[in-house]
Each structure stands twice: as C-alpha cells, then as structure tokens.
Amino acid sequence: MAYCVEITKAGSPSALSIKEIEIPSPGNDEICINVHYAGINFADILMRLGLYNPRPPYPFTPGYEVSGVVHSIGSDVTEFKVGQRVVAAMPTGGQCSHVAVKVSRVISIPDEMSLDEAAAIPVTYLTAHHMLHHLGHLEQGESVLIHGGAGGVGTAALQLCQWAGIEHVWATASGHKSNIIESFGGIPIDRHNQDFRKIVKEATDGRGVDHILDPIGGDNLAKSLSCLAEGGKLYTYGLSSAAPTSKRSLIKAFFALRKTPKFDPLRLMMRNRGVFGVHMGTWKDEKAIAEQLHRILEGVKEGHLKPVIDSVFDAKDVAKAHQHIHDAKNIGKVLLRFTN
C-alpha cells in the first residue's frame, strides 16, 4: 500500500499525519515514480501554518520535489522506462511514496549521483538558478547578497556564485553557521548581531550590491532594498519572518506582512532598481524548468555543485523534521525518506 504525508489543518507540526493511499495510475503523458526521497522546504512549513498561497484546501499533501525509480509509465511515454532512476520537480503533492507526474517535469539521474542528492536539487538549486541566471543574468564582476545563506537555497546560491566566478558574495546566517558560508567562498554576516546594510555599504563604498536574495520578507526586505545598487535586482521568495516559531501566530504574521514594503514603481524607476517575486511552484514554463535542471545536473557532474544535505528523516517522523527546520538547526537541505 502506498502512503503520503497529509496536512490536515493549519497549525503546529501536530497537524501532520501519514495516510494510506492507492498507487496512482499515470496518465498518457505521465510516469508514476516510486519515491525514495522527498524534499522539505520552508514553503511547506508556511503552508502548514496557513500562511502560504496558493495551496490546496485542507487536507492536502505538500512537496515540490522527489527522487526515486520509475514504477509505471503512461501510454504516450517513450523517454523513460520502468526501473529508471529519476528526479522530478512537482507542482505539489510530492511527499508520497508514489506520485504521478508529467514527463516534462522529470529528468533522469546520472549514475554518479545518489538519490538523496538528487532530491535536494529541484527546489533549492532551481530557485537559486532561476533568480541569479534566468532572471538576473548574473555576470562576473557583479556582487551578491544572500539572506539565509546556510539554508537549502542559500548554499545552492553560494555554489552557483562560486561556479560563475563571482568574487563579492555576502551571506547572512546565524553566527555559528559561518563556516559553511566561508567554505563556498562567501563572506558571512551574523544576522542576529551584525547590520548587513552597514557591512555591504562600507565594502562597496556606498554603491550597494547588484543582486539580493531575500526569503525573510517583512522589514528585512525593506532593509535589503536600501542597499541595492543602481541597476540592481532584489528577489523576494519567502516570508520566514511570519513564522518565527512552530506554532501558528496570526498576530506575528500580521506584523510581518505589515512591515513588508509596498514597492513604488516610480521610486524604483528613478533609482533604476528591479524587484522580482519568485515562486517556482506556480512557474508554468516547464521548458525553462527542464533546461535549468539539466544545467544544474551538468554542474553536479562537473563537480561545481554539491548538494548540502543536513538530515534525512523517515516520512513517519515528518513532524520532527518540521520542528528541526523551525528551530533553525539545519545547514542545507532536510529530506524525507520513503524507503527503508
């Protein structure tokens, strides 16, 4: 019998449960994957808290990325065969032992890559690559500031900057996580005890940085905008400031939203700055997704990129995994395991 993670209501990790399901039958242009690993992202945390949209109505299964082996194939599928190792970027519903997904969202895994490494790629590396390269057209000589530099997207972005030859990269994180940032060529900033605006402005003679990745939101987003260089780009892709603890607090979420800046297009125009909102779960250009995933896998094969996996939890311990992320204990990616 197949099974899945289910979010039954908005609330603490206790709102998570395991549910038995039937193995899905793939459509004509789909394959069914026997999932070995599925990623957990902060979007899943916010969805559980009821603070993230779009999301399905409760109860639903979260999850944007899986790795495993092909279980069965649709009638029109010629690119894959049963037993083949694959990774997929899911629109949602990935935290299941078996998932049906369109072949346009699936790519094969090279022999030298493990299944856990593969599951750590679609959301984190795709999000980082999409911001820095697809939207940002990152070039040598430019500078980057990464908030949450020790997390999944943060470590992916640091590696992508290193691969691109970017010399000036700053990353904020808790002080005890500075080593991981330095290991990928970044300059760590203690987010709790240092002012990133002052550090960046002093280091750039007041110019600011060309690219800023901000998953925190709230007043942090306004601070980020204040140290963006002329012609720079700010990417906002989360609101972790709305969920400082594992319990749902509408008051804290309200204040985080209230502190989020309202972007004035005229002021952006006068200062030649750009702001991108990024949500890969709603990005519908599957060709662009596939092209970027192939590029990322090339980086892994060539040794430029190495997924950072913090921990792997059995699927039945999904509540513990959520709490682990809430407590900011992770450095890199947290995965769920669906095989023994």
Q: What residue spans define the domains of the chain?
A: 2-121+307-337, 123-280
Select from 3.40.50.1010, 3.90.180.10, 2.40.160.10, 3.20.20.70 the CATH code of 2-121+307-337. Answer: 3.90.180.10
Secondary element (H or E) of residue 196: helix 196-203
Q: Which two tokens stand for residue 250?
A: 């509408």
Cα–Cα dist 48/158, whole Å: 28
What's the pTM? Answer: 0.88
Please give the structure tokens belonging to residue 158: 């640091």
Cβ atoms of residues 5 and 99 within 8 Å: no
Q: Note the pLDDT of residue 260.
A: 67
pLDDT of residue 47: 85
- CA quadruple 49, 53, 59, 65: dihedral sign: negative
Which tokens is 131 given? 């911001």
Is residue 229 packed enough to be buried (19+ CB in 10 Å), middle (13-18) or exposed (0-12)? buried
Q: Could you give the CA distance from residue 23 to residue 217 in angstroms, rounded to a whole number?
A: 39
CB 131 within 8 Å of CB 158: no
- Position 242 scores a pLDDT of 53
Q: What are 281-313's pLDDT values in tens digits?
A: 788 888 898 899 889 999 998 999 999 999 999
- Residue 224: CB partners within 8 Å, gap ≥ 6? 145, 147, 212, 214, 234
Q: Report the pLDDT value the prediction gives residue 327, as an integer from 0 to 100.
A: 84
258-287 as b/e: b if 16+ CB within 10 A: eebbebeeeeeeeeebebeebebbebeeee
Predicted local distance difference test score (pLDDT) of residue 315: 96
Q: How far apart are CA 65 and CA 143, in angstroms?
A: 30
- 230 vs 45, 142, 196, 265, 319, CA distance in Å? 34, 12, 18, 15, 44
- The confidence score (pLDDT) of residue 312 equals 97
Residue appearing with tokens 């290991």? 183
pLDDT of residue 206: 96
Q: How far apart are CA 42 and CA 279, in angstroms?
A: 12
Residue 255 confidence (pLDDT)? 52
Note the pLDDT of residue 243.
Answer: 54
Q: What is the pLDDT of residues 260-278, one digit of tens each?
A: 667 777 777 778 889 998 9
For the chain (340 residues), the mean pLDDT of every run of 10, in chain order, is 92 92 95 97 85 84 96 95 95 95 92 92 94 97 96 95 98 94 97 95 97 91 94 87 54 58 75 87 86 92 93 96 88 90
Q: How far apart are CA 160 and CA 274, in angstroms?
A: 21
Phi, psi torsion values for 257, nearest 5 degrees: -65, -40
Q: Give the CATH fold of the 123-280 domain.
A: Rossmann fold (3.40.50)
Distance of CA 127 to the CA centre of its chain: 6
141-155 pLDDT tens trace: 999 999 999 999 999
The residues pairing with 122 across neighbouring beta strands, listed in sequence order, are: none
Question: How far is Cα 241 from Cα 17, in angstroms, rounded to an integer?
Answer: 25
The strand pairing partners of 68, in sequence order, are 35, 86
The dihedral formed by the CA atoms of 13, 64, 91 and 135, expressed in degrees to the nearest 10: 120
- Rg of the chain on CA atoms, in Å: 20
Task: Say if CB 35 and CB 338 are below 8 A apart.
Answer: yes
Q: What is the pLDDT of residue 251?
A: 56
The total number of residues written for the chain in this structure: 340
